[in-house]
Amino acid sequence: MNFWRKLSLRAQSSYILAILSVILIAEYFIIRSKLESLTEGERKIDFARSVQVQNQQITLQTEFFIQGKKELATEVVALIDNQDHLLQTLRDGGRMDGTNLFVEPLSRLPRITLDNLEKNWNNYKTAIQVLLTEGEIAVQSITPATPPAMSSGSDSTGVLQEEPGSSIVVIEPAFNKAKLIFESQWLALSKWYNTLILDLEDEVRVKQAAVLNWFTILVLLDIGGLFLVFVFFNRQVLVPLALIGKNTASRTASNVASNEIGLVANQINDTLEDLRDATDFVIAIGEGKLDLDYRSLDKHYAGGNNILADSLIGMQARLKALNEEEGKRQWANEGLAKFVDILRSSNDNLTLLGDKIIAALVKYTNSNQGSLYILNEEEASDKHLELISMFAFDTKKFTQQKIKPGEGILGQTFLEKETTYLTNLPEDYVRITSGLGDANAKSVLIVPLKVDTQVYGMIELASFTPYLPHEIAFVEKLGESIASTLASVRGAQRNRQLIQQFQQQTEEMRAQEEEMRQNMEELQATQEEISRKERNYLARIEELENQKAAPSNEDKEDFKQKEREYLLKIEELSMQVAETPARGDDWEVAIDVEKTLRINLQALQLTQEELARKRND
């Protein structure tokens, strides 16, 4: 049994198939043997009947010979020899004449019958031979109309009685005796032939019963074999499969025989174990344990052998990458929100804002040092980057607080308007100092503060560790917000300066306006005086023309004095107008007054010329 249990299902099936094949082959040969034996019995019956028919033919031919057909003697002898051959074949077996069929020797009971039959046959054959060789039939007379016929009875003298009206046939005593034996043995032979055929038929019936019994036994044997096959199939296949199905549904391991179904059960057990590991792995991932190693759940895991595990590990890697990206994005968003609060809270003082920005940026990016430069372009001829804030830098670094565009890496980055990230730094390029000592920085990040293509300043960060891509992108994104804020703060400062300057100029303008108002009042009074005097002069001129008298020296002096006064007023107004910028209607009135004084001066000059002309006349 242990040997059988150790065999695989294929081997067990092969053995069962071989056994069934042997059984079927044996059944085939048994049935064939029994059928051939039955056919042999029927063939013997037929052969015995043919021998009986042959014996009847001998009897018939002998009767014809006795009746006078002497030519049949040879044929009768031949038939007797053939009959001997047939009886020997029937006894000992052999080939049936004229066919390819063979008969087997007779069994015990038919052989006994055949022995008795042969004894009678020998007597019968001897009688025939006597009839053929020893007897002569003497025909005394023959009635033409009536054929001779033997009487059924005879006496010892050998004279055969004949019916009245027939001829008398005289027979020899030996012939008569042989003929008597011939007739008596024929009846005995017929009886023994019938007995032999009955024996053979009984033998056939026995063989038929044997065939039926064997067929029944073989059918029962086949049914038993099929039942055993079913039991084997149920025990070795159906029951384990049902157990595997039940255990698979309940997700428990199945322990079955170590055959093909056992291999399938082991594979299902491995699959269930992989599913449990995968389930635990998925639950862990759902709980946020993205760093869990799958080998901690399955020590025998090997890449490429477990597609489900490979897919889950790939999913874990993608989720981890997405989580890292989300963490970086969240880190950047939180940083931008933090710096938005800083930019909103300190937008009135550029230096204070720069200090807060660079300090918070250095801490948030885990840098060690940082500095903030803004573009100073107040003078077009002296455009430069000016340091406004620094964090943790050595003061030696900032002996030069103004950097022109294109000067050094910082100035070149300003011109290129692109981020510069340095990792292979020369010695003493940037040294990070602390109370315990100093060391060279491993990486430097220089980011322009720009909006669109306009650069408003630069940020420089230094660190012992490299900057990650998302940190660089964050500083670049933050640089845009800082640039916008710096631009607005700088604009606010400029506006405040302009407002202060405007307020100062307004005060000065107010003082100048007061002075101008006074001057205007004086000018108006002077204009009125000039108008009055002009009217007096015109009246005087008219009077002089009427009188045609020469002007006196006093009038001349008076004209010259007025002319000088007008010239002084005009010169003084011109200087005031040149020094004070034009403002609305006040300056227009001053200009009009100047024009009026000039017209009055021209009038005085014309009057003086007219007086001189008249004097000359």
pLDDT single digits (tens) 70-114: 888 888 888 888 888 888 888 888 888 777 888 888 888 888 988
pLDDT number for residue 437: 47
Does the structure show a pLDDT above 70 at 547? Answer: no
Give the H/E segment covering residue 101.
Answer: none
> Which of 49-63, 180-194, 458-472, 594-608 has the least mean pLDDT?
594-608
pLDDT number for residue 503: 83
What lies within 8 Å, CB to CB, of 544 at 6+ separation is 551, 611, 614
Does the structure show a pLDDT above 80 at 561? Answer: no
Helices (H), 346-465: 350-364, 408-416
Residue 166's pLDDT band, with cuts at 50, 70 and 90, is very low
Residue 158's pLDDT band, with cuts at 50, 70 and 90, is very low
Mean pLDDT of 400-411: 80
Residue 436's pLDDT band, with cuts at 50, 70 and 90, is very low
Distance CA 172, CA 589 (A): 209
User: What distances in angstroms separate CA 475 from CA 335, 339, 370, 448, 458, one per listed residue?
Assistant: 10, 11, 12, 10, 11
pLDDT number for residue 496: 76
Mean pLDDT of 291-309: 71
Q: Quick one: what percent of the chain has pLDDT higher than 90?
A: 1
User: What distances in angstroms separate CA 359 from CA 143, 390, 391, 460, 488, one per listed residue?
Assistant: 172, 8, 6, 12, 21
Query: Higher confidence at residue 169 or residue 381?
Result: 381
> Which of 104-118, 225-239, 394-408, 426-440 has the least mean pLDDT?
426-440
pLDDT number for residue 552: 58
Residue 367's pLDDT band, with cuts at 50, 70 and 90, is confident
pLDDT number for residue 188: 84
pLDDT number for residue 592: 64
Does the structure show a pLDDT above 80 at 557? Answer: no
Query: Higher confidence at residue 531 or residue 337?
Result: 337
Q: 389: which strand partners?
A: 372
pLDDT number for residue 148: 42
pLDDT number for residue 236: 75
Mean pLDDT of 448-475: 86
pLDDT number for residue 145: 40
What lies within 8 Å, CB to CB, of 585 at 6+ separation is none
Helix 307-345 with 260-286: angle, nearest 10 deg: 0
Does the structure show a pLDDT above 80 at 49? Answer: yes
Mean pLDDT of 256-280: 75
Helix (H, G, I), strand (E, B) or coil at 284: helix
Does the structure show a pLDDT above 70 at 215? Answer: yes
The rounded mean pLDDT for the chain is 76
pLDDT number for residue 160: 41
Residue 328's pLDDT band, with cuts at 50, 70 and 90, is confident
Does the structure show a pLDDT above 70 at 422? Answer: yes
**Which token pair is 311?**
């897919």
> Which of 26-30, 232-236, 589-593 has the least mean pLDDT?
589-593
Mean pLDDT of 560-572: 69
Tally Cβ neighbours within 10 Å of residue 217.
12
> Which of 34-48, 155-169, 369-383 has the least mean pLDDT?
155-169
Residue 30's pLDDT band, with cuts at 50, 70 and 90, is confident
> Which of 142-151, 233-242, 348-357, 556-565 has the least mean pLDDT?
142-151
User: What distances in angstroms separate CA 615 from CA 101, 105, 546, 602, 610, one per listed residue?
Assistant: 197, 206, 14, 20, 8
Distance of CA 58 to the CA centre of its chain: 98
Helix (H, G, I), strand (E, B) or coil at 500: helix
pLDDT number for residue 432: 61
pLDDT number for residue 439: 66
Burial class (CB in 10 A: 0-12, 13-18, 19+), 556: middle
**Which token pair is 82?**
């053939």
Mean pLDDT of 23-42: 85
Query: Higher confidence at residue 605 or residue 385?
Result: 385
Burial class (CB in 10 A: 0-12, 13-18, 19+), 468: exposed
Write the DSSP symbol of residue 236: I
pLDDT number for residue 57: 87
Mean pLDDT of 155-163: 41
Q: Which of 122-136, 390-404, 593-607 has the highest mean pLDDT?
A: 122-136
Query: Higher confidence at residue 321 or residue 147?
Result: 321
Is the whole model's pTM more than 0.75, yes or no?
no
Residue 62's pLDDT band, with cuts at 50, 70 and 90, is confident
Query: Higher confidence at residue 38 or residue 137?
Result: 38
pLDDT number for residue 480: 85
